[in-house]
Amino acid sequence: MTEIILCDLADIPSPGCKGPFSVLHDGVETLVFVYRKGSKVWGWLDDCPHVHAPLEMEADRFLNLTGEYLLCSMHGAHFDPKTGACVLGPCKGRSLRAYPVAILNGKVIGSATP
């Protein structure tokens, strides 16, 4: 496993998202994004469990209008940004897949897994 810098923590509003980033995850080029709230970050694969499409229409735009939920722009599913659980929409009961991230010296770090 190789650590990679995704972005500066300061580049992500709170609450807010940054991405997608292309990373090697389990040996496959995969798109991921990061959600930030305060001094904590969560990483998610940019893949809706309903139709396996990216969530965002534009880079860094993953939240609904209130900023409370991650939103799939394709069909409106709402996901809890901390757990990834779908709370509204056609994939209710399923979840986004987590991508491990951490903060190190003001940088958001992910991992590349061959």
Domain boundaries along the sequence of the chain: 2-112
CB-based contact 50:76 (threshold 8 Å): no
For the question of whether the overall pTM of this predicted structure is more than 0.75, the answer is: yes
Is the pLDDT score of 55 beyond 90? Answer: yes
pLDDT tens column, 74-96: 989 999 999 999 999 999 999 99
Confidence of residue 48 (pLDDT cuts 50, 70, 90): very high
**Per-residue H/E/C for 20-61:** EEEEEECCEEEEEEEEEECCEEEEEECCCCCCCCCCCCCCCC
Higher per-residue confidence, 51 vs 78: 78
| Terminal alpha carbon distance of the chain | 7
Among 1.50.10.20, 2.130.10.10, 1.10.3720.10, 2.102.10.10, name the CATH number for the domain at 2-112.
Answer: 2.102.10.10
